[in-house]
Amino acid sequence: MFAEDDIERRRVEREAADRAYNEALTALDQAFPKLPESPHPPVAYDESQLAALNDRWGILAANPANHLRGWRRRLALLVWGLFGPALERQQAFNATLVDHLNRNVDVHRATRAGIEATLGAVRGELEKLETFHTKLILYLQTITLFVDTKDRSEHIATLTNLTNAGLSGVADEFRRRWESMVAREQRYVAAVDELRTSIASVQQTGLMLKRELERGLAGATASGPAPAAAAALPASRTDSVNAYKYVCFENKFRGSEADIRERLLKYVDIFEGASNVLDLGCGRGEFLALLAERGTSAHGLDINHEMVETCRARGLDAREGDAMAYMESIPDGSLGGLIAVQVVEHFQPPYLVRFLDTAYHKLRPGSKIVLETLNPSCWFAFFEAYIRDITHAWPLHPETLKFLVVASGFQRIELRLLSPYPSDAKLQHARVPADAASLPMVNLMSAFNENVDKVNDVMFSFLDYVVVGERI
């Protein structure tokens, strides 16, 4: 980098050079001669008397003595002899002079025309010279700007190179720092996610302990102090101690209450006008709340103690218990509808068959049964969602569940595929180049795209499905 004294010295030198250039340019402009006044061509040759001279130069007629006789002839000869020679000489002079004048008329005319043309040519050349001088001054004035802008371009190019180099270095450093920040953020997000899961688990544990403590205190108050062995939870409730963990699992992987509520809206109209609908595996009570909003009487059943407590905290009718034990405890034809969303995959096959047979008898004629579950025929659903939940017992192919529902006596069966995998996330077709004229290439690409469709149909189809039946 230049020091301040170097910059000042260069500025002074530049100003001095500019002044010298401007002074020289001004002197050159003043040294150019001005265009002189052009001379006039000579006056035209006076030919006004030339015609008269051509008519009057002859002063002698024929010898008069040739036409006379006698003394007149003698007298005329005498007079002619005295004056004739002089008149003849005068007439010869007149003839010579007139001939000279006639000969010089064309010369005078050509001379004047030549002088006039020469003056015009000289004037034109002087005007061209004056134009050249003007353009020369203009050129010398603009060349300064040209050199200055060229210097600027070079300076700009130099600065641009320096700037680009600097920016490139800054960009590299910024990229490195950004990647480091992204990595830290990912670690932070993962840690926060784990922390949220742990906090949710702790909260559910606290709620469970609070409820159990209140029940224990209530029992102690009613029956007096219990022996130490009675402080332990009943055997039937041993699994409820860890039930809160599945609540946390639902919150993390199945979806928020708003998402589940939105997904279940499509089932509300199926139970329009029904009463005493059973929501088997009611979970957090999203569908019970939807039915309550429509004025449809319903109650829920869930084997998970914490799920039931969550529903009751929201003012919903939820009961804790095993599906078959509850179904066998209620009268036949007592239910106006049954829905089990993401439940039947938790049943072992013998249990499922027994459940469907029992459900047929417990439903009133005209009542609907709705069974939604994961679609294991979609590989993504199976490997991404099904095996992630350790409480799943048996994957049910759509046709398998439909057959079991029909075999249990239900009619008007409807199988709906739900939750299509996003098209833009599937395997994409290969595009055949526009210039691919070769038939083997086109056939190869077509075969490849057909295989892509087959893989998409197996791996990325519908994530869920529902079987809807009616007891006639």
- Tens of pLDDT, residues 102-147: 888 888 888 888 888 888 888 888 888 888 888 887 777 777 666 6
Band (pLDDT 50/70/90 cuts) for residue 419 is very high
Inform me whether the pLDDT recorded for 45 exceeds 90: no
Q: Choose among 360, 312, 377: nearest CA to 472.
A: 360
- Can you list the alpha helix ranges (DSSP code H) found in 390-471? 398-407, 439-459
Inform me whether the pLDDT recorded for 149 exceeds 80: no
The answer to which of 63-77, 311-325, 398-412 has the lowest mean pLDDT is 63-77
| pLDDT in the model for residue 284 | 92
81: which 2 tokens?
């002899």
Inform me whether the pLDDT recorded for 409 exceeds 70: yes
Mean pLDDT of the 416-443 span: 82
Q: CA-to-CA distance for 177 and 155, rounded, in angstroms? A: 32
Q: CA-to-CA distance for 279 and 362, rounded, in angstroms? A: 14
206: burial class by Cβ within 10 Å (0-12, 13-18, 19+)? exposed
291: burial class by Cβ within 10 Å (0-12, 13-18, 19+)? buried
More confident residue, 220 or 272: 272
| pLDDT in the model for residue 352 | 97
Per-residue pLDDT tens over the stretch 367-408: 999 999 999 999 999 998 899 888 899 999 999 999 999 999
402: which 2 tokens?
């439909």
186: which 2 tokens?
């990912």
| pLDDT in the model for residue 238 | 38
459: which 2 tokens?
């791996």
Tell me phi and psi for residue 459, to 5 degrees.
-90, -35
Q: Choose among 281, 466, 467, 462: nearest CA to 376.
A: 462
Secondary structure element (H or E) that encloses residue 368, with its range? strand 363-374
Q: State the Cα angle at 58 between 54 and 60, rounded to 5°.
A: 170
- CA 131 and chain centroid, separation: 56
Tokens 């509850």, located at residue: 326
Q: CA-to-CA distance for 380 and 458, rounded, in angstroms? A: 9
368: burial class by Cβ within 10 Å (0-12, 13-18, 19+)? buried
Helix, strand, or coil (residue 404): helix
Mean pLDDT of the 429-444 span: 73
Inform me whether the pLDDT recorded for 229 exceeds 50: no
The residue type of 418 is: L
Question: pLDDT above 90 covers what percent of the chain?
Answer: 40
Q: Choose among 405, 395, 391, 399: nearest CA to 417.
A: 399
Q: CA-to-CA distance for 421 and 376, rounded, in angstroms? A: 13
- pTM greater than 0.75 (yes/no): no
Per-residue pLDDT tens over the stretch 329-372: 999 999 999 999 999 999 999 999 999 999 999 999 999 999 99
| pLDDT in the model for residue 148 | 63
| pLDDT in the model for residue 367 | 97
CB 140 within 8 A of CB 23: no
Mean pLDDT of the 35-50 span: 79
CB 467 within 8 A of CB 415: yes
Annotation: CATH topology of 244-470: Rossmann fold (3.40.50)
Inform me whether the pLDDT recorded for 240 exceeds 80: no
470 has which bridge partners? 368, 411
Q: CA-to-CA distance for 43 and 355, rounded, in angstroms? A: 139
Q: What is the mean pLDDT of the chain?
A: 81
127: which 2 tokens?
């005007």
Band (pLDDT 50/70/90 cuts) for residue 428 is very high
Band (pLDDT 50/70/90 cuts) for residue 198 is low
Inform me whether the pLDDT recorded for 234 exceeds 80: no
Tell me phi and psi for residue 307, to 5 degrees.
-65, -45
| pLDDT in the model for residue 137 | 78
Adjacency order of strands within the sheet including 298-302 = 318-320, 298-302, 277-280, 335-341, 363-374, 462-470, 411-420
Band (pLDDT 50/70/90 cuts) for residue 232 is very low
Q: Which residues contact 264 (CB under 8 A, 6 or more apart)?
A: 286, 287, 290, 341
Q: Quickly list DSSP for 298-325.
A: EEEEES-HHHHHHHHHTT--EEES-HHH
Q: Quickly list DSSP for 196-227.
A: HHHHHHHHHHHHHHHHHHHHHHHHHHHH-PPP
| pLDDT in the model for residue 365 | 97
Q: Choose among 144, 141, 145, 142: nearest CA to 28.
A: 141
Q: Quickly list DSSP for 126-186.
A: HHHHHHHHHHHHHHHHHHHHHHHHHHHHHHHHHHHHHHHHHHHHHHHHHHHHHHHHHHHHH
Per-residue pLDDT tens over the stretch 260-290: 999 999 999 999 999 999 999 999 999 999 9
Question: pLDDT above 70 covers what percent of the chain?
Answer: 76
413: which 2 tokens?
């069966």
173: burial class by Cβ within 10 Å (0-12, 13-18, 19+)? exposed
Counting Cα atoms < 13 Å in the Cβ hemisphere of 138 gives 6
The answer to which of 4-13, 88-97, 203-212, 232-241 has the lowest mean pLDDT is 232-241
Mean pLDDT of the 4-17 span: 82
